[in-house]
Structure 1
Amino acid sequence: MTHQTERRALAGPRPLGERRVWPRSFTDRLTEPLPAARDLVRVARECVVRPPADALKDVPLLPVADGAVPQAGPDTVSVTWAGHASWVVRIGGLTVLTDPVWSRRIPGTPARITPVGVPWSALPPVDAVVISHNHYDHLDAPTLKRLPRDTAMFVPAGLGGWFRRRCFTRVTELDWWESAELAGVRFDFVPAHHWSRRALTDGCRTLWGGWVLSDGAGPRVYFAGDSGYGPCFREIGRAHPGIGLALLPIGAYAPRGMLKPVHTDPEEAVQAFLDLGAAAMAPMHWATFLLSSEPPLEPLRRLHAAWTAAELARGALWDLPVGGSRVLGD
């Protein structure tokens, strides 16, 4: 980390709901050039980001659990995978959703291939939401519409206006290496190698990143959002030592030439886990939406092989089914 980054990582929390002025563009944060609109249109037209039809025979084999969210007191840290990048994190007595997508469909993508892991009616009252970036598979308006408008929202720099236009009243925008606190739980926004866009003309108008959640007593939970592999993981590990669980993406990596800058493959996810120095890893961003051309079960197979090749403890890999839960410390 640079000295400036170190100072920002050690700075105190920002005020909740603070109104701030941001640059018009965050293209200076890109680690690779932004995909051109014509390239995205070509990819969609040629359907090169969908697995072959014969690979879909694996869909019935994808793991799904009952979706019961563990009972959690103020000293309990637990995670429940609702699918894709959506987790129910219970920490410091709060219930936090990450990138909540409960919709069956999102724009430009076939319907989800596994059901939502946690029925909306089974959710505890939601205290806060963290958003990694504004892509449709991470920022889902129909899902967020279900939440009370006074739910605390923690979002990347520049994205606050999207929430305020939808009448959310407790919106906190953060830059990389900044933090905020809610009821004793700290929300740290950290870098990722990715980008943002919701339309053809708004590329990188808002920031992207991951989140480290901590309550000052129990283990830290790192939620990566979307990211390609790069030095950010080592920097996050240095800034936030003692991460108890890393929620890391392993899918949507093929074709590799197009997706390598923005999505880790399973082998890179294992290296990211090592760079972070985390105690355990739970894979995500697979088995939900068909966003790319690898077969649906391939990410987990490759993850297991890479984990074994790295001689890592099997108990440190929390390969949960959709709807599965774990309590940190069990």
Structure 2
Amino acid sequence: MNIQRLPWAGVKVQFENTAIVIDPLFHFPTKFGGPQEPLYPLDAFGPVDAVLITHHHADHFDPQAIIAFYGDTTPVYLPFESVELARESGLKNVQGAAVGDTFGLGGLQATATYSVDGTGDPQVAWVVQGGGKKLIHGGDTLWHGYWWKIAQAFGPFDAAFLPVNGAVLQRPGLTPSGQPICLTPEQAVAAAVVLEASTLVPIHYGVIHHPPLYTQTPDLLDRLQASADGTMNLTILKAKETISL
């Protein structure tokens, strides 16, 4: 199984003749100003057989890019609460997923599992298996109490792709909490330990930092390395880089 990092939270998973992507992004949400790192046309990463979406936020679900680069009939799997929104975007082959639902995707198998969204919207994490290897993609989940259930159901994992930027939001019209809406570096390492992941691959950092609306936690890579040191393997990938499991 080969995994390629896409910008922001995206990854591409390839096993034999099957390729899928999770949370691919090309069109940057304008409310966040401009991207802090390059985004790339999705066809720069090659064709895919299916798209998995963790949730419908604009930095994780880019239907215009899916249609433009993969076609409107490419199978798209996302939380069942977001199916109608996805169909309204022009996608014609949409499948809703609830926790525990499993889908055969050629040589790969994808299962929706627990994730908790920082703003209360529906979200799933995706467990992808193929060739005796297994990974989990956590979208932009915050810390929750389901890690142990996930570990019991699916662990150990060969790789955990988890958010690390501990972003704090200040949304117009809403009382600010000052609390991160996704995992901090230290929480990501703790989650990977509970999941019994052989390696932690950080995602969901770098591209967006637009205070006060969206503020990325400071010194995140240094903190991530310090927290992982002596605890677990940490694999930092830039966009377009790959690892093999």
Q: TM-score with structure 2 length normalisation?
A: 0.87
Equivalent residues of 1:195, 1:208 under 8 A apart: no
Question: What's the CA shift for 1:294?
Answer: 3.8
Q: CA deviation at 1:225?
A: 0.3
CA 178–192 in structure 1, closer or farther in 2 if over 3 Å, else same: same
Corresponding residue number in structure 2 for 1:73: none
The residue number in structure 1 matching 2:52 is 130
RMSD: 2.1
Distance verdict in 2 for CA 1:91–1:162, change over 3 Å: farther
SS in 2 for 1:138: coil
Indicate which of 227, 230, 239 corresponds to 1:306. 227
Distance (Å, rounded) in 2 between the aligned partners of 1:171 and 1:95:
17
For the pair 1:221 / 2:148, whether they are aligned, the reply is no
**Higher RCO (Cα < 8 Å, 6 or more apart):** 1
Runs of 4+ in structure 1 over 4 Å off? none
Structure-2 residue corresponding to 1:37: none
Residue of structure 1 aligned with 2:157, choices 236, 243, 262: 243
Match among 52, 60, 64 for residue 142 of structure 1: 64
AA of the residue aligned to 1:320: L
Shift of 1:195: 5.2
Taking every aligned residue pair, what percent have the same amino acid on both sides?
A: 22
Give the whole-Å Cα distance in 1 for the aligned partners of 2:89 and 2:59. Answer: 18
Q: Where in structure 2 are the equivalents of 1:1-330 lying within 5 Å?
A: 77-103=1-27, 105-116=28-39, 119-146=41-68, 147-194=70-117, 204=121, 207-215=122-130, 217-254=131-168, 257-260=177-180, 262-290=181-209, 292-294=214-216, 298-308=219-229, 311-313=230-232, 316-328=233-245
Matched pairs, number = 235
Letter in 2 for 1:125: P
Q: Which runs of 5+ in 1 are unaligned?
A: 1-76, 197-202
Q: CA deviation at 1:137?
A: 0.9
> 1:156 touches 1:208 (CA, 8 Å); kept in 2?
yes
Question: What is the TM-score when the length of structure 1 is the normalising length?
Answer: 0.66
Counterparts of 2:37 and 2:226 in 1: how far apart (Å)? 24
Residue matched to 2:172: none
Cα drift, residue 219 of structure 1: 0.8
How far residue 323 of structure 1 moved from its aligned partner, in angstroms, is: 2.5
Aligned to 1:16: none
Query: Structure 2: how far apart are the matches of 1:167 and 1:257?
Result: 35
Which deviations, in whole Å up to 9, do the C-alpha atoms of 1:96-144 show, x marking residues without a partner?
11111112x313101111112x543432211111111111111123322
Corresponding letter in the other structure for 2:108: V
Q: What's the CA shift string for 1:7-50, capped at 9, x where partnerless?
A: xxxxxxxxxxxxxxxxxxxxxxxxxxxxxxxxxxxxxxxxxxxx
1:256-289 C-alpha deviation (Å, 9 max, x unpaired): 95333x3110000000000101111100110111
Question: Residues 151, 275 of structure 1: CA spacing in aligned structure 2 closer, same or farther, 3 A cutoff?
Answer: same
